[in-house]
Every structure is written in structure tokens, then in C-alpha cells.
Amino acid sequence: MPTPYNMAFACLSCRKSFKREFNLAEEKPKELKCPECGGVAHNLGRHFKAPKKNNLKQWQKIAFLLEHGFRFQKICIEENSIETVPYPETLEAAKEFVVKYKNYAIK
């Protein structure tokens, strides 16, 4: 039996995230329907932690990163290195981040 694991989905309109279980072998959707508003909930992977609902700045940052192809995927700069690039903490830092790492964006 494959081990199921959780992926986090976030709805930017509701500013909420929820988890869904997937098997590794299964195709993992990039988007699901938000259970609250019926809008789009984005797959932000296994490591995403949602900010508080009223933390607008953080949600803006997430929306900005998503727009630029960053879904909290791991970014390894050096080959064969386990070190990954930390995601930016603020929207301001995110603006530099998406330029610096644009080659790692998911199209």
C-alpha cells in the first residue's frame, strides 16, 4: 500500500487552507474547489503553513508568489545539495525573490 500524505490547499479569497490526502502515486491536482466559497484553492504542497486569516500582508505575499510560479516547492540551488532556499518572509522580500529565482518558477 502506498503511504498517503497530506497536501495543503489554500483559497486566497477565504484566506483559509485545508488539507487533502493523496497517495504518492496518484496525480496531485494543482487546484481544487474551495469548500467554503467554491472558488479556486491552490495546491501549496506539503510544507505550507497558512498565516492567520487577518494577516493580509502574508496572504498578499502568498498570492504574489503564486502569480509568479512559486507554490512553496523546494528550491535547491546546488545540485546534489539538500539545502533549500528559504521562502521570503515579507511581500517586499518576495519581490526580490521572484526575480532572483525566476528560473525555478513553475510555469
Q: State which of residues 6, 13, 23, 55 lies at the interface with Zn ion (CB under 5 A).
A: 13
Contact (Cβ atoms closer than 8 angstroms) between residue 51 and residue 17: no
The span from the CA of 106 to the CA of 67, in Å, is 10
CB 16, min distance to Zn ion, A = 6
Cα separations in angstroms, 19 against 9, 11, 72, 84, 97 = 6, 11, 15, 23, 26
14 touches Zn ion (CB under 5 A)? yes
CB 102, min distance to Zn ion, A = 28
Q: State which of residues 30, 37, 56, 92 lies at the interface with Zn ion (CB under 5 A).
A: 37
Contact (Cβ atoms closer than 8 angstroms) between residue 106 and residue 70: yes
According to DSSP, residue 63 is labeled: H
34 touches Zn ion (CB under 5 A)? yes
Our CB check for Zn ion shows the closer of 14 and 91 to be 14
Q: Which amino acid would we find at residue 7? A: M
Our CB check for Zn ion shows the closer of 37 and 93 to be 37
Classified as helix, coil or strand, 11 is strand
Q: State which of residues 4, 6, 39, 90 lies at the interface with Zn ion (CB under 5 A).
A: 39
By the criterion CB under 5 A, which residues form the site for Zn ion?
A: 11, 13-14, 34, 36-37, 39
